[in-house]
Structures are given as structure tokens and as C-alpha cells.
Structure 1
Amino acid sequence: MPSFKGEQISLFSLDFEAKFTSKNLKYPLKDLRLKTLFSGSLNEATNHFFSLSSIPKSVVLVYQKY
């Protein structure tokens, strides 16, 4: 996803079983379950883009503060 270095990123998912993995975030996710709604909040982009994947595929709300 397009971003910029230092941009605040928060991730929200209602699928508490999905395991998320990210690239280019200050606090990287590696097969991490977002067990609460705030588990993926207050992260930060480290580059002009970041990526996010999940197993199994899941819906996630991505909040980017511009």
C-alpha cells in the first residue's frame, strides 16, 4: 500500500484467528493474530509503501493518518 516514512498505520480485524504478516512497518507482524481490536494499532510505516498478508485470507481495515 502507498505510504510515507513515519506515517501512522493502524490495522483492525474482526477475524481473531487470521495470522498477519507485514513488511515495512516499524513493529513488524510475523504470523501474528490480532486478538483484540487495538492489537494492530499505532504502528508506523518505515518506507514509501508497506504490505500486509494473512493466512487464511481475511478482511482488515487499514487506517492511515495523513
Structure 2
Amino acid sequence: GEQISLFSLDLKARFTSKNLKYPLKNLRLKTLFSGSLNEATNHCFSLSSEPKSVVLVYQKFS
């Protein structure tokens, strides 16, 4: 799978994902490395947050 890193400056937002090796389940990204070094387990993945928030997605294509 492709390497994925997620970054958010919104410390109140809780993120949930699908199709990531290390799933996010209502997780706050409290530090810059909290959402880094993950991996897509499918050709696509999804990410949601509560409340809605801006997130930077870094994806390394091979």
C-alpha cells in the first residue's frame, strides 16, 4: 500500500478512517506524528472528522 501521513492543526477534531493499516477511530491528532507513517490497505481510503476540519494528507506514490 501507499504511505499516508495525516496532519491537522485542529486539536479538537476527532478523526476516523477506513482502509488504513493503522485505523483512526475517533482519534485526535495531538502531535505532528500522531497521524504519520500510516499505509493505505486499498487503492483508496476515507477520512472523516467531528467537527469538520481541515487536514493535510501527504501520500507517497511508488
TM-score interval w.r.t. the shorter chain? Answer: over 0.9
Structure 2 equivalent of residue 64 of structure 1: 59
2:48 to 36, 49, 53: 53
Structure 1 unaligned blocks of 5 or more: 1-5
TM-score (norm 1): 0.91
Structure 2 equivalent of residue 20 of structure 1: 15
Runs of 4+ with deviation above 3 angstroms: none
Q: Secondary structure at the match of 2:37?
A: strand
Structure 2 equivalent of residue 3 of structure 1: none
Alignment RMSD (CA, Å): 0.4
Count of paired positions: 61
1:11 aligns to 2:6 (yes or no): yes
